[in-house]
Amino acid sequence: MYFNIKNNVYHVGNVDWEIEHYQGFKYSTHKGSSYNAYLIQEEKNVLIDTVSESFCDVFIKNLKNKIDLQKIDYIVINHGEKDHTGALVELMSYIPDTPIYCTKNCVKSLKGQFHQEWNFVVVKSGDTLDLGNNKTLTFVEMPMLHWPDSMACYLSGDNILFSNDAFGQHYATSALFNDEVDQCELFIECLKYYANILTPYNKLVTRKIEEILSMNLEIDMICTSHGVIWRDNPTQIVELYLKWAANYKENQITILYDTMWDATRVMAEAIAKGLMQEDKEVKVKLLHLSKKDKNDVMSEVFKSKAILVGSPTVNKGVLTSLASTFELIKSLGFKEKKAAAFGSYGWSGESVKVLNEKLKESGFELVNEGLRVEWTPDLQELESCESFGREFAKSTKLKDI
C-alpha cells in the first residue's frame, strides 16, 4: 500500500501495529508506531528513508509496485538509525550504484552499522538537489536531533519539510494526517516522544527551529518518519517544540515512590494530602515506580514543576526502581525543577540522604533536607507528612501559572 500525499509525493512506509517496545526495551510504544518513507516522482525519482528491517520484505515489494527500482535516481537518508535504514541492505542489493545523499556523520553511522561501500554523496545545510519540474530538495543538517547524523530536507514547489524523527510520535494509525486522528491520543504521544527523546537537546531544538524559521520557508506539510503527517496547521507542532524546549513545566507535582511493606506509600499519600490542602490548583500524581512504565513516568516528570521521591532504606540504600529511574532522569537533563525526598526506615535510615544526592546530581533544586519516618508512620508522623506536603506546595508555587 502506498498513499498519495500531495502532487507527486507518496508515502511508501509501513505501520507497525504490534510493536510494544522500541530500541530494545528503552522506549515503550503503547500505541505502536510507523516507519514513514517517502517517494517523490518528478523528472527525477527520489526515495526518502526506508523502514525497519522487520518490514523490509513488505516495503520492497510495495515499492516495486509503485516504481521500477532501477528508476530510483537518488536515495536520501535523513538519519542512519535502523528504524529508517533497516531495509537499505536489501534495497541496495537491487540498485547498488544508486547514490545515497546524507550527512558526513550519516556515512559513518551507515558504514558502522552495515559495513557497505555504497555510493555516498555527502550533503551539508543549504545544499540542493534538483528534481526537475521546478522542484528542489534543500538539505538542513540537524546534528544531535537526535543523532549526530540527523538531517531534514525541504521540497520547494510542494512546500514539504521531511523532518525525519523530529516532530514525530510513536503512533500506529490507519490515517495519514494529523487532523484525522484522536487529538488527545496524538498529543500524549508527541509529548512522550519529546520528553523521552529530545529533552537533553532542548537548547539545540530551540536554535535549530529558530534557524529554520529564519529561512522563511512556506511549510504546507511536515512529513515525519513516525506517526502522522502534519498538514492541518502544520507548524503547531513546531510551536509546541519551542514551548517544550523552554524547560517546560505545568502546575503539577509528581510523587515517585516505591515500597516494600507500605510505610513509604502511606507517607506518599499523606504528603499528597498536604499538597492538596495547601494548593487547590496544583495537579498531584502518585506513581509507584515498580508498577508504572518508565517512559510514562518521564512524561509526568517532564510536565512537573516539582517532584517528590520516596524510598524505604534497603541495605543502606534505596530500592532499585528508584536507582534506575534516576539513571533515566539524569540522562534526560531536566532543568528548573524543584524536589525533595522522603522515606521510611528501620534502623540506619540512609535512603533520604541517597535520594538527595541523586536529585542534586540530576540537576534538581532541593527545597529541604527531606523527611524520614522510623518504621510505619503513626498518627503524629502522618501529620508531619501532611505538613511536609503543605510546606512543599508553598515553596514550589508558580507565580506565572
Q: Which residues bind Fe ion (CB under 5 A)?
A: 81, 83, 165
CA distance 79 to 140: 12
Query: What residue 313 binds from ligand FMN, Fe ion, none (CB within 5 to 8 A, per partner kind)?
Result: ligand FMN
Amino acid identity, residue 229?
I
Query: What residue 25 binds from ligand FMN, Fe ion, none (CB within 5 to 8 A, per partner kind)?
Result: none
CB of 50 to ligand FMN, least distance (A): 49
**Given the complex with ligand FMN, which of 249 and 265 has the nearer CB atom?**
265
Q: Alpha helices of 246-336 — where are they, by DSSP H?
A: 263-278, 294-303, 320-332
CB of 342 to ligand FMN, least distance (A): 10
Query: What residue 73 binds from ligand FMN, Fe ion, none (CB within 5 to 8 A, per partner kind)?
Result: none
Grid coordinates given for 232: 492541518
- Chain positions contacting ligand FMN, by CB under 6 A: 259-264, 312-316, 344-349, 375
**Given the complex with Fe ion, which of 81 and 258 has the nearer CB atom?**
81
Grid coordinates given for 262: 507500605
CA distance 366 to 340: 6
CB of 248 to ligand FMN, least distance (A): 31
CB 49 within 8 A of CB 40: no
Query: What residue 154 binds from ligand FMN, Fe ion, none (CB within 5 to 8 A, per partner kind)?
Result: none
**Given the complex with Fe ion, which of 73 and 165 has the nearer CB atom?**
165
**Given the complex with ligand FMN, which of 78 and 259 has the nearer CB atom?**
259
CB 255 within 8 A of CB 284: yes
Query: What residue 165 binds from Fe ion, ligand FMN, none (CB within 5 to 8 A, per partner kind)?
Result: Fe ion
CB 91 within 8 A of CB 69: yes
Query: What residue 344 binds from ligand FMN, Fe ion, none (CB within 5 to 8 A, per partner kind)?
Result: ligand FMN
Query: What residue 81 binds from Fe ion, ligand FMN, none (CB within 5 to 8 A, per partner kind)?
Result: Fe ion
Strands 45-48, 3-6: pairing kind: unpaired
CB of 34 to Fe ion, least distance (A): 10
Query: What residue 346 binds from Fe ion, ligand FMN, none (CB within 5 to 8 A, per partner kind)?
Result: ligand FMN
**Given the complex with ligand FMN, which of 168 and 377 has the nearer CB atom?**
377
**Given the complex with ligand FMN, which of 262 and 327 has the nearer CB atom?**
262
CB of 256 to ligand FMN, least distance (A): 13
Residue of 337, 338, 365, 370 lying closest to 353 (CA atoms): 370
Collapsed DSSP state (helix, strand, coil) of residue 363: coil
Strand extents, DSSP E, 79-134 = 100-102, 120-122, 128-132
**Given the complex with ligand FMN, which of 186 and 341 has the nearer CB atom?**
341
CB of 373 to ligand FMN, least distance (A): 8
CB of 360 to ligand FMN, least distance (A): 21
- Provide the Cα torsion 154, 158, 164, 169; round to 10°: 140
**Given the complex with Fe ion, which of 69 and 204 has the nearer CB atom?**
204
CB of 354 to ligand FMN, least distance (A): 11
Provide DSSP, 234-261.
TTHHHHHHHHHHTT---SEEEEEE--SS
Provide DSSP, 162-220.
EEETTT------S--BGGGS-HHHHHHHHHHHIIIIIGGGHHHHHHHHHHHHHTT---S
